[in-house]
A and B are shown apart, each in its own frame.
Chain A
């Protein structure tokens, strides 16, 4: 596993020297491994979105460095600039409520905007649009000429996601990807992110305040509080720290809370059962526990 995204001692302050000065990030050290799904979790104002924009190269740190595959995103000389731009283009950034950035008359044109801005030839643009639409499960022929504004919220968000996927990012970075979606839309989007990860090995970084989402798909969690990293590690280990999670203004995932409560109520579950991530796994573990050891072996 390569070290895809590295942040070294990154600090950032909004509006320095004014009455509205606010330090959003304080000396962040963070390494995100290639091929991982990393969640940045935190309460409103914890700095998680600011951190995401640093990774996307949209803002540069006041001090410290943000490197993508070893290249610093902040460039000074002309030569550095070219390298920094190339590095920045490896990162695909999907904003919160991404459907609000759609602007073209047709879905095709909107998805083509990015590849065209990158200066690709029209044939390549067409191929990319077709492929990106397939990846977000929108039928090319049926949808290419439709207006993105006639779609449902969930579909619009997938069009916006396709607009970023068409840039072939090695790192897909998403801000609150499921915010505002209904249960079906949320489920589909999480499944989609997992598919992208499984099919292309795309490194995924996403910001969320929904611990259910984090628990469902992340394999690394970074908990931020007031611009600093409070906790970092595998979801099961991070969420097991109930008090520190609460300190960050977050809650344990519902399933973990429930499993912990069951153990406390005397259901003979193991400590590790609290780390089970799906209701199916949890139900199987409970059933086994209740049937005693003979039953347990067979159930698995």
Chain B
């Protein structure tokens, strides 16, 4: 049996009251030990609700969620579940409890009743794992967002969790902070075999996972390796998501008649593929194309850029019916 088993799970907020909302609808998903799963979805897709089921912060309205064979509805087991599945939340300011970094990391093991000397050992190891040892005696409000999130990761590591759920943990960070967190997550996954469930709306981050689950309106609409998911660029855009830059260029170049693999994913791959294409072109064109291009291109550089990717109309037509039913933001873009 997989480490995390979700069977026909539905979650309804305010059931039977005014404002009743079905955030998850018949979701089935299983996540194996040691997997790195990214969960993508726009606001309101249900991804945070899903995350909170994984360590019994929310309980299913219908269906079931089991962690290592334990049903999350078993009240007596809730601390065991939370000890297995840790969580890093979105807002770095609202999840650190203590006024000193190392005390905060100790908070989890202290709650679990771990002996003092062992807590000390775990705290030191956890801080080292996220490169925060030099900041051990800092007050959290003096740290950057990325540093606070690293402390939060250390806090779950100190509980010796087997899996960590990142609930949009990079959404409020600057690009440096995001890169920092992602590289630490990758390292923990590789070196400590931590199971990672990484909820995000940044496509480049999702591309780093082994598997990408796409949620929309409470349903799983895609579940495949990133290479496969990002070959459906139009569907993703219809769901209010984007694709990584390399994928976007890949599709545009393919449309312009340049031969590129349909599942090309990373910038490195794109550069290599285009480099090879250029070699053959340059050989054919006799070599002076480069100078010609330089003269021509300088004329375009000053043109006003339009940052919104073109093709919004096409995206709307491609939108699945389910997504179009409930216009999430009332802007009329989801006509």
Asked if B42 and A279 sit within 8 Å, CB to CB, the answer is: no
**Contact between B294 and A183 (Cβ–Cβ < 8 Å)?**
no
Interface Cβ pair total, 8 Å cutoff: 191
Which residues of the other chain, A, contact B284 by a CB distance below 8 angstroms?
292
The size of the chain A interface, using a CB distance under 8 A, is 70
- Assess the A268–B43 pair: CB atoms within 8 A: no
Q: Is the CB of A270 within 8 A of B270?
A: no
* CB pair A258 B245 closer than 8 Å: yes
Interface of A is mostly: helix
Contact, CB under 8 Å: A270 / B295: yes
Q: Does B313 contact A (CB under 8 A)?
A: no
**A287 close to B258 (CB less than 8 A):** yes
Supposing A236-B301, A271-B294 touch, asked if A261 and B249 sit within 8 A by C-beta, the answer is no
A180 near B: Cβ within 8 Å? yes
Q: Are B43 and A152 in contact (CB under 8 A)?
A: yes
The answer, among B242, B249, B330, for a CB contact under 8 Å with A282, is B249
* Sample (27) of A-B pairs whose CB atoms are under 8 Å apart: A155-B330, A182-B42, A184-B42, A187-B307, A188-B333, A191-B308, A210-B174, A258-B271, A261-B271, A267-B274, A268-B290, A269-B293, A271-B298, A272-B294, A272-B300, A273-B301, A276-B300, A276-B301, A277-B305, A279-B245, A279-B248, A283-B252, A287-B253, A289-B293, A290-B281, A292-B281, A292-B289
Residues of A within 8 A of B328 (CB): 152
Give the distance to chain B from A219, nearest Cβ to Cβ, in Å.
8
Interface size of B by Cβ–Cβ distance < 8 Å?
Answer: 64
Chain A, residues 138-156, CB within 8 Å of chain B (1/0): the string is 1100110000000011110
Q: Which of A59-67, A77-85, A125-133, A247-255 is the interface stretch?
A: A247-255
Within the complex, what minimum Cβ distance (angstroms) separates A163 from chain B?
Answer: 18
Q: How far is the CB of B168 from chain A (nearest CB, A)?
A: 9
Answer whether residue A216 sits at the interface, using C-beta atoms and an 8 A cutoff. yes
Residues of chain A within 8 A of B241, CB atoms compared = 183-184
- Mark contacts of A182-224 with chain B using CB atoms, 8 A cut-off: 1 yes-contact digit, 0 otherwise: 1111011011001000000000000001110101110100000
Question: Would A180 and B44 be within 8 Å (CB), given that A278-B309, A279-B245 are in contact?
Answer: no
